[in-house]
Amino acid sequence: MKALKTLVAIALSAGGLGSAVTLGIASGSMDRANAAATITSVTLKGSFDGWGNGVAFTKDGSGDYNLTYSLSTNVQFKVLVQGGGDQWVGYNWGIDASQIDYDCIDHDGENFKMTSSQSLVFKVKSTFYSNYGSDVTIHKNTITSYTVTKHAVLDGVLQSGDIGTDIVPSTDTYAVPASIKRAGYHFVGWYTNQACTTAYTAGTLSGNLDLYAKYTSLVDDTYIYYVTGSTNTCNDYIYTFDGDKEFGNWPGTKITDVAGVQEVHGVMSFQGTAQNIYKIPFASASGDDGLIIHNNSGTQTVDMSLVSHSAYWFITDPELVNYHNDDAGAALDLILNVEAKRNAVTASGNIAAYSICGISASDAASLYNTYYGLTSSVKTTYVDNSTTYTYNGTDTGNQTNVSFADIMVQLKAIALRGNQTVLGSSRPVVIHDNHSALVVVTIIALLTVSGTGTFFLLRKKKEQ
């Protein structure tokens, strides 16, 4: 429910209490495709003199109805959905009855206070959601009410303006308000001071109250992978729920626009198929535990569990339970780290840019030992079957597609040459680098023993 702000007096009148009045539907109001041409009658019920009585809407056959009623300055009232269901209620505080602000009111209702003497137009649009079968009642409140004004404090900085107000009768217990989500921030809680050191606890109010919502910036400390299945431009969106909604309200954020996203495509194929692969960072502190990926055109995945370091595909079949894959995520962790090290190699001496042999011995050992520690399924199903592009020897015109299984063998040889500890080897092997040709010959010999006779010196990204 949006806060009631400046109320402008309008010249509208209503029938007396307990009488039937005839009201027409104003043209131009939102989504009136299913509305009847006119409302034949709306009965004003009750004496409108306390919480137990009020002015109730009566639903008509079209699912639309409205009500005009006059209230004086400082009258406090409550809009309450009868019967326990939620309902969409529209409010108009201005002269133009077509400008209706619709909000969903829950069964607890919401409180308001008139700031000037005027008439109100209330509308209910049951066609927004399914028909709940509940009436909406406006109750007058003769008890003093107080205004709660809510503010946002982001990383210790008070933001200008407010983020909402509540009107609370002095006899009511004011509960801790629901959190208000902000993309990129973690909601900490509500406080009664700007420094956000005194937490608010539910209770009755003795006067107007300022509440401060404390937010802290989300820090991306983990990630997932998204595999598109093609090398075309990705137009999909990522949306998270049940937490701080790090990627914003629906539809979320376009994957290519996510801050810090890494894209790997055109230079490798995952499991033998060229694909767009995105490494999407997010903050574990967000509390988001649900994930939907969609194309913002009506097609979306099933509701998925958000699991860090896992891989996701665009799967819409709710019968498929394996809609994220931890093994594929573990493989992509390694593959993308290998690619990052290769991309970092610069031309130097007899080593060309993007060369496998340009990776340091320590990095080679770290990458290979990670590979060695993977399960057999991750190795054989994902890592070994994925390929990347490089060049054969010094012939830059001879592009070669090489498997990551071959690259792992090369990394092991580089690590051993640098006297690094390699898992699965009985002891480090030291090979003196007296001549570049000897180095190449020696490594080729090592690779031959390992089952491959090919050593790739250079690598270049495949042009898309």
Residue type, 96: D
Please, what CATH class does the domain formed by 145-217 belong to? mainly beta
| Helices and strands (DSSP H and E) totals, the chain | 5, 28
Q: Nearest 5°: phi and psi at 457?
A: -90, -35
Residue pointed to by tokens 């010094």: 394
Most confident region among 165-179, 213-227, 307-321 by mean pLDDT: 213-227
pLDDT digits (tens, 9 = 90+) for 236-274: 999 998 888 889 889 999 999 999 999 876 567 887 777
Number of residues written out for the chain: 464
Residue type, 131: N
362 to each of 143, 351, 358, 366, how far by Cα in Å? 75, 17, 12, 6
Identical fold for domains 20-141 and 145-217, yes or no, is no
Q: Which of 243-247, 350-354, 416-420 has the lowest mean pLDDT?
A: 350-354
Residue 374: Cβ within 10 Å count: 17
Does the domain spanning 20-141 belong to CATH 3.30.60?
no
> Strand pairing partners for 279?
225, 262
Detail the DSSP E strand segments found in 230-338. 237-241, 253-254, 262-264, 268-270, 273-274, 277-282, 290-294, 304-305, 311-312, 324-325
pLDDT, the chain, mean: 73
pTM of this structure: 0.58
Ordered by start, the domain boundaries in the chain are 20-141, 145-217, 222-322, 330-449
Q: Nearest 5°: phi and psi at 31?
A: 50, 65
pLDDT at residue 448 greater than cutoff 50:
no
